[in-house]
């Protein structure tokens, strides 16, 4: 095995290994814990995933004036003809039950009192939605969900939380030259002890999130380095629709505001997008104006910035009452105020930033991948829900719905595996490698990758840009593989190795789509083709 390099310092056995500790991973752990021993890996702090920073909310039909069919239709429209309608209906139909589970677990969504004096959930509206259907906890919904799930997980004796562990590679029967192709465990990097360890498991679920860190500007935390997608690809799983990277239209443009997202709910509550001279521009691009889907809004902002040579555009909600702004957007209000921006009196400077990976590991409605025993849920996956563009607040929904579906499938299979012996897995051997004395190589490659991905594979693409990007990523892959073969692993090297792999998948997917659709816009192919299909990449064909 080319991956095998340290005499393993520690081995763990568990029924289910979950790699990732966001909304999907923690929800799955809670569902499985009454039935099995569960280990949850988090490569950073337990609260550092994308879930914690999600502001907007979760889409679900709770209003009598709304309907499942309407939510389905809105999602299909936003997906620009590439959604899997069966996956959309499956997700939306299970939305209310999944949200009720979160509520029962302790998540406190905002409520209001109606005219009759009844308490009901306060539902906001976001781009692409025809109704108010977004459950939220002010403008910090992800934090409320993550903290609630984490508190519940910590109380469960069958769940072991492993903080500070990077998954290096999955161990499968095929890699060990055994029959079939089943997942057996994983090699992991213990960042706390700086050593490689082995985890044996009957089932593994990837819940690692997306890959937006492959771009220079992103709204995501540093952990979003495409780990699960790269792990699955190297193990033989198909990957789909990686050309569809969602750029959130509104990230705060400020030197001291790294990764700070300005929720779409601002526009849902009436905020306007403005040029530097104070004039609105979205009415020139789409009849839905500021409530157009994210791909349209992001391209409009990008176009205006390039046309005017401006560093940023502006988002303005100051025409709303101060009390309304502070109540509904307290986190944004306080953060901007700390930077000298009073959003109750002045507009916020904004730029688009990489936000969500719409493609990923191909799974079925149970979260099962191409490898027996290996599941994937959340942003790491391609389910068919998002198509060519994710509609706002469908992402956290997907996490919970598929976590529940995945749990049901695993629970049904647990009795057949709990009495089986774990496979003999060779120790990780790093006796032929040494500590790196050139960490600067990793840093240089890291910056080069993110810069050319932003310039050549960003909001607007061309064939020439994609060809340049492919040549550069192939050179980087050669350098990084050589580095990986000669030096001991560490966090930066592992993340860079995964990011370069994911970058190649994004570029190859973008090169294969000869049209412009949703989040993929190629100036050489500005029109849409008839009968579009998902872009599917297969490892065995390489």
Alpha helices in 418-462 (DSSP H): 439-456
Pairing state of beta strands 195-206 and 11-19? parallel
243-274 as b/e: b if 16+ CB within 10 A:
bbbbbbbbbbbbeebebbbbbbbbbbbebbbb
Question: Which residues are designated catalytic?
Answer: 294
From the CA atom positions of the chain, what is the Rg in Å?
23
Yes or no: say if 228 and 50 are a contact pair by the CB < 8 Å rule: no
Q: From CA 371, how far away is CA 20, in angstroms rounded? A: 19
Alpha helices in 310-438 (DSSP H): 322-328, 330-338, 395-417
CB burial class (10 A; 0-12, 13-18, 19+) of residue 491? middle
Which region, left, alpha or beta, applies to residue 120 given φ > 0 means left and ψ of -120 to 50 means alpha? beta
Closest CA to 502 of 293, 351, 354: 354
Alpha helices in 160-317 (DSSP H): 227-235, 265-268, 294-308
Yes or no: say if 62 and 119 are a contact pair by the CB < 8 Å rule: no
DSSP state of 315: E
Q: What is the 3-state secondary structure (H, E, C) of 101-163?
A: HHHHHCCCCCEEECCCCCEEECCECCCCCCCCCEECCCCCHHHHHHHHHHHHHHCCCCEEEEE
């Amino acid at each position: 095995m080319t991956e095998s390099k340290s005499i393993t310092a520690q081995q763990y056995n568990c029924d289910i290994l979950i790699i990732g500790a966001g909304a999907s991973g923690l929800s799955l752990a809670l569902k499985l814990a009454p039935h099995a021993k569960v280990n949850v890996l988090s490569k950073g702090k337990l609260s550092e995933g994308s879930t914690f920073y999600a502001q907007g909310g979760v889409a679900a039909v709770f209003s009598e004036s709304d309907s499942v069919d309407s939510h389905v239709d809105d999602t299909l429209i936003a997906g620009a003809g590439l959604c899997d309608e069966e996956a959309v209906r499956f997700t939306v139909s299970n939305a209310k039950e999944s949200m009720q589970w979160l509520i029962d677990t302790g998540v406190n969504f905002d409520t209001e009192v109606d005219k009759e004096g009844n308490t009901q959930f306060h539902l906001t509206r976001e781009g692409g939605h025809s109704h108010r259907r977004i459950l939220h906890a002010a403008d910090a919904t992800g934090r409320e969900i993550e903290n609630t799930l984490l508190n519940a997980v910590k109380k469960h004796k069958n769940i072991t939380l492993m903080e500070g562990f990077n998954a290096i590679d999955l161990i499968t029967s095929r890699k060990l030259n055994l029959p079939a192709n089943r997942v057996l465990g994983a090699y992991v990097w213990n960042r706390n002890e700086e050593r490689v360890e082995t985890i044996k498991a009957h089932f593994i679920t990837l819940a690692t999130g997306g890959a937006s860190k492959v771009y220079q500007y992103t709204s995501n935390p540093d952990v979003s380095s495409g780990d699960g997608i790269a792990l699955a690809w190297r193990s033989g799983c198909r990957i789909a629709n990686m050309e569809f990277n969602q750029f959130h239209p509104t990230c705060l443009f400020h030197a001291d505001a790294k990764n700070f997202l300005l929720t779409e709910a601002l526009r849902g509550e009436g905020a306007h997008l403005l040029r530097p001279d104070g004039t609105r521009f979205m009415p020139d691009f789409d009849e839905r104006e500021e409530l157009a889907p994210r791909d349209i809004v992001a391209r409009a902002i990008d176009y205006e910035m390039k046309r005017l040579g401006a560093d940023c555009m502006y988002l303005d909600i100051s025409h709303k009452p101060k009390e309304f702004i502070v109540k509904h957007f307290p986190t944004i209000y306080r953060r901007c105020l700390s930077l000298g921006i009073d959003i109750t009196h002045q507009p916020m400077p904004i730029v688009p930033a990489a936000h969500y990976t719409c493609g990923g590991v191909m799974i079925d409605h149970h979260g099962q991948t191409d490898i027996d025993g290996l599941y994937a849920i959340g942003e790491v996956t391609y389910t068919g829900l998002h198509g060519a563009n994710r509609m706002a607040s469908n992402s956290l929904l997907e996490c919970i719905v598929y976590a529940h579906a995945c749990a049901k499938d695993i629970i049904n299979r647990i009795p057949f595996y709990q009495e089986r012996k774990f496979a003999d897995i060779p120790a990780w051997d790093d006796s032929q490698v040494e500590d790196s004395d050139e960490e600067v190589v990793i840093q240089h490659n890291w910056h080069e990758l993110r810069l050319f991905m932003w310039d050549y594979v960003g909001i607007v693409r061309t064939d020439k840009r994609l060809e340049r990007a492919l040549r550069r990523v192939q050179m980087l892959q050669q350098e990084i593989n050589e580095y990986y073969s000669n030096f001991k692993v560490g966090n930066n090297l592992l993340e860079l190795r995964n990011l370069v792999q994911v970058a190649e998948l994004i570029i190859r997917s973008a090169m294969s789509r000869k049209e412009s659709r949703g989040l993929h816009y190629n100036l050489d192919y500005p029109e849409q083709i008839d009968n579009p299909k998902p872009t599917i990449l297969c490892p065995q064909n390489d």
